[in-house]
Chain A
Amino acid sequence: MTSLTAPRRTAAADTGSARTGRRPLSRKHREWIAAALFLAPDCIGLLIFVGIPMVLSIVLGFFQVSGFGSYTWIGLGNYRRMFSDPLFWSSLRITGIYVVVLVPLLFVISLGLGLLIKQKLPGIGVYRTALFMPYVISLVVVGLLGKFLLDDQVGAVNRAMEAVGLSGRSWLGDPSLALVSLIAVTTWVMMGYYMIIFLAGLQEIPQEYYEAAKLDGAGPWTTFRNVTWPLLRPTSFFVLLMSTVAAITGGLDLVYVLTQGGPANSTSLAIFYIYQQAFVFGEYGYAAAMGSFLVLIMVVLSAVIFALTRGGRFDDGE
């Protein structure tokens, strides 16, 4: 490899010295220009497709956007409408239930799975693959699959329940069950992802701690409480924060395919209601106002999690 690069290096040295002869730029300034050029594509792209939309989403909330590109300033009009819109409040309540059930459920299941696949069991690689696999399948396919398996007439879940003598339920057609089904399907897809993150955290814990605990005669529960749990704090914090943010603003794909927000709006998460207002009814301004409100909730909740877990540091709290 060295022999290959050596002649090229001399060639580069030649052009380099020739260039310094032509352009009397200092090395420092050349570095600045290079940095600007290296950073330009991503910075311009992030500005146009992330930065501006972020600012615009706040600004848009104060406008009525009608038809194609006509904006009318209406001040707090969208926000007044939002606070008196029962469907918005209902969608917030549904999002609340979704977050409060999904986040702890995902946390416990993926932590359990992480602990399980950390064990040196025969065929552990196969189990890890199997548990992670649903994550690589698109949410659209997952949604279709959920619809197929949970169908009240022909679905495999009801078939199985009938086979063992239980009566089938209308998993996606019953307003009191549809949200449960949505949460179950979401858990199934996402548990493998958080399991891997927990596994990474668990593998970071030095083995000596476990050996010391073993010498002290600590059982599995004591070891978990006194070694694993405190040392896993940063990972737990990360999972909690990520899954909360994902639960508040995510779920759009699955709701779209699985239930379209129904039955009787029982799975109409806030993000789905916002999507509908924008892309079905063309109420971009109103949707943007609700979106900003949702972001505000997300930021406040993230701050609360951060404060409660003290940013997931090891030292304090115990």
Chain B
Amino acid sequence: MASEATRLARRRRVSSRFWLTLLAAVVSLVSVFPVLYMFISSFKTRAQVTDGRLIPAQFTVQNFVYVFTEVPFVRYLVNSFAVSAVITVAALLFHSMAAYALARLRFPGREALFATIFSTLLITAPVVLIPLFLVVGQLGLLDSYAGLIIPAIFNAFGIFLLRQFYIGLPRELEEAAVIDGCGHWRVYWNIVLPTSRPVLAALAVFFFLANWNSFVWPLVATNNPDLTMVQVGISSFQSQYGANWNYVLAAATVAALPMLALFFAFQRQIVESIKTSGLK
């Protein structure tokens, strides 16, 4: 009788696992379907792009050829790549320097300074968009690469995350170096930076992604078509080509693919840095 009960319980457990797996599969499918459908549809012809079929009746790469030849799409991609890369490198350098000082060096007002920096985390970008635009305008940086890059470097999130990481690092290595007469810069550059490679890699992916995807700031800060970043590019492409969904989806696919590739390559790092940001 006891064995009968356990068998029943096991069967119930197995069937609940089955339903949970099915549920997970269904919601996952709903989640990826739009992206998958965009990808598939970008290979359809103009006549078939809206036919609702999951497999193109006629497979074409003409949409991509069109996007790259009719619009300076390569320029958009290069702009976005260069701007995002420079922001990422500069941000990692400055944030790790600041975080090192906040975590390790002793100086008066350290906690107050950290609290001040931390409080800027509460200021969300859309809220300061207008005054930031005016400040950058006063500095004569509108419509320039500098105007796209410099304001995007500074955010407290990176400083905060790196400081937490440095506080958790064992001090022995650094102390040994200090006793050996290393200056603070040497300790930072030769010891702290190399040991923080994993967290820097995670942040690098995160920063690059955020800046590649950024839209509102490049939209308001630039007018010069040579400075068009990829998100602004596809947005204006869509308003221009409206119903030519085959072209619009091909352009959107090109803009999304690098980030999807980055995501699949560095999924663990991205997920870990989000987890850390949530835990505080």
Q: Mark A residues whose CB is within 8 Å of B.
A: 5, 8-10, 12-17, 19, 28, 30-32, 34-36, 38-39, 41-43, 45-46, 48-54, 56-57, 60, 65, 69, 113, 116-117, 119, 121-124, 126-134, 136-141, 143-149, 151, 153-154, 156, 159-160, 188, 191-193, 196-197, 199-201, 204, 235, 238-239, 245-246, 249-250, 252-253, 256-257, 271, 274-275, 278-279, 284, 287-288, 291, 294-295, 298
Contact = CB atoms under 8 A, between A and B. Distances in A.
A141 B20 contact: no
B105 A284 contact: no
Contacts of A196: 271, 274-275, 278
Main secondary structure of the interface of A (DSSP, over half): helix
B117 interface: yes
B270 interface: yes
Closest 8 CB pairs of A and B: A16-B181, A154-B50, A138-B213, A197-B278, A130-B28, A13-B181, A38-B101, A200-B275
A117 B135 contact: no
A39 B116 CA distance: 13
B105 to A, nearest CB: 4
B186 A12 contact: yes
Given A34-B101, A148-B38, A278-B130, 15 more contacts: A50-B156, A57-B127, A116-B20, A116-B23, A131-B27, A132-B267, A134-B31, A137-B35, A141-B256, A143-B235, A144-B249, A145-B252, A199-B275, A200-B275, A238-B280
A121 to B, nearest CB: 5
Interface string B119-158: 0101110111111111111110000000000110111100
Contact of B100 (A12, A38, A133): A38
A307 B126 CA distance: 26
A130 B32 contact: yes
Contact of A200 (B29, B38, B279): B279
B98 A138 contact: no
B119 to A, nearest CB: 10
A150 B150 CA distance: 37
A17 B181 CA distance: 7
Nearest to A193: B274
Given A35-B105, A130-B32, A140-B234, A145 B124 contact: no
Nearest to A148: B245
Given A42-B97, A132-B271, A133-B31, A34 B279 contact: no
B106 interface: yes
B102 interface: yes
A250 B126 CA distance: 7
